[in-house]
Amino acid sequence: MNVPPSDTPPSEPSPRHRREAPGRTAGAGPARGTVRIDTGLVSGVPGALPGVTVYRGIPYAASTAGPDRWRPPRPAPSWEGVRAADTFGDAPPQAGTGFAMSEDCLNLNVWTAASAGGERRPVYVWIFGGGFSGGRGSDPVFDGSVLAGKGLVVVTFNYRLGALGFLATPGLSRESAHRASGNYGLLDQIAALEWVRRNISAFGGDPDQVSIGGQSAGAGSAGMLSLSPLAAGLFRRTVAQSHARHPGDPELRYLGTSYRRLDAAERQGAAYAAAHGATTPDELRALPWQDLDDAGTLGDDGVDTRSAARPPLFRPVLDGWVLPAGYHDTYARGAQNDVWYLAGNNLDETGAVPETAFDHWRRTGRRDRPGAPPVHVTLDDFVGSARHTYGALAMEFLRLYPAATDDEAARAANDAVRDRSRATTHLWGTQWVRGCGRPVHTYFWTHRPPGPDHDIRGAGHGSEIPYFFGTLHPADQGWTGRDREIADTMSSYLANYVATGDPNGPGLPAWPAYDPRTPTVMEVGAHFGPIPVAPPAELDFWKRYFAAQQPW
Residue 349 a catalytic site member:
yes
The active-site residue, picked from 138, 216, 385, 421, is 216
- How far is 224 from 207, CA to CA, in rounded Å? 21
**Cα 377 off chain centre by:** 28
**Cα 523 off chain centre by:** 20
Q: Which residue in 43, 21, 339 sits closest to 153, CA to CA?
A: 21
The active-site residue, picked from 461, 473, 491, 492, is 461
- Whether 155 and 87 have beta carbons less than 8 Å apart is answered as no
- How far is 87 from 43, CA to CA, in rounded Å? 11
**Cα–Cα distance list, 204 to 55, 142, 207 (Å):** 13, 20, 10
Residue 216 a catalytic site member:
yes
Widest Cα–Cα separation across the chain: 72
Pairing between β-strand 520-524 and β-strand 529-532 as defined by DSSP bridges: antiparallel
Apex CA 407: angle with CA 400 and CA 255, to 5°? Answer: 65
The active-site residue, picked from 266, 349, 464, 523, is 349
- How far is 98 from 95, CA to CA, in rounded Å? 9
SS3 content of the chain, % helix, strand, coil (to 5): 35, 15, 50
- Whether 345 and 421 have beta carbons less than 8 Å apart is answered as yes
- How far is 336 from 181, CA to CA, in rounded Å? 22
Task: Point out which residues pair with 317 in neighbouring strands.
Answer: 260
Burial class (CB within 10 angstroms; exposed 0-12, middle 13-18, buried 19+) of 395: exposed
Neighbours of 368 (CB within 10 A): 11
- How far is 470 from 340, CA to CA, in rounded Å? 23
Q: Which residue in 21, 113, 126 sits closest to 499, CA to CA?
A: 21
Query: What SS3 state is found at 155?
Result: strand
| Cis upstream peptide for 73 (omega within 30°) | no
Burial class (CB within 10 angstroms; exposed 0-12, middle 13-18, buried 19+) of 301: exposed
Active centre residues (catalytic): 216, 349, 461
